[in-house]
Amino acid sequence: MQAQQVHLGQERNTVAHIREQHTTQLEDAVARYLPALYRRAYRYVEDPHDAEDAVQDALLSAYKHLDQFKGTARMTTWLTTIVTNSALMQLRRRPRQPHISLDGQLSEDQDYSMSDRLADVRPGPESECIRSESRGYLMQFMTELSPAQRRVIQLFVLDGLTSREVADILGVSQGTVKSNLSRARSKLKQMMRRV
């Protein structure tokens, strides 16, 4: 009987220790990746207030269900999934907006539709060609950058990370990231001017 009580006490200590570890991991992940979690939610809901609500709901849910974190994935992966689900729930809660057909007539006395009145904002073939050509040159010129500058451009410009996140990923200071970014942009501008 006493051996059972000792075993239960040890088991409780182990569960408490695991919960404490998970809580620390959660706090660390939130401190480091909160802006990225917000951006993730914003991509879905496209509204800053709804994105904040989605992240807040997700963090509360993550803390309440911390015992369900099994540790098979990283804490940030688990949190990102919860934020995504929370953002999707925000979308489901929104009231349905009425849809108006662009091809239907606005009133009976008009013989044109809304689509006839709207300007085509898509780029023309010439603009598309210039854009495509410029992008090709840019990608070619990126190969001429140093590996450090290329990685910084990839993470900061193309992946949309902050300078702090880039610094954390690359294991360098923020000043080094900003310096490499400035040099890379300057070189790319010079190369693009030649074209």
Query: pLDDT (tens digit, 9 = 90+) per residue, 77-118?
Result: 899 999 999 999 988 887 776 666 666 666 666 666 666 667
pLDDT at position 8 over 50: no
Partners of 113 in the β-ladder = 105
Quick one: which of 86, 38, 35, 34 has its CA closest to 58?
86
Residue reference for tokens 């990102």: 80
Per DSSP, the three-state class of 119 is coil
Residue reference for tokens 């979308």: 91
For residues 86 and 57, the answer to whether their CB atoms sit within 8 Å is: yes
Select the CATH number that applies to the domain covering 2-93 from these four: 3.40.50.300, 1.10.3720.10, 1.10.1740.10, 1.10.150.20.
1.10.1740.10
Where along the chain do its domains lie?
2-93, 124-194
- pTM check: above 0.85: no
CA dihedral 120, 123, 124, 128 (to 10 degrees): -160
Supply the mean pLDDT for the chain. Answer: 82
Question: Average pLDDT, stretch 146-174?
Answer: 88
CATH no. of 124-194: 1.10.10.10
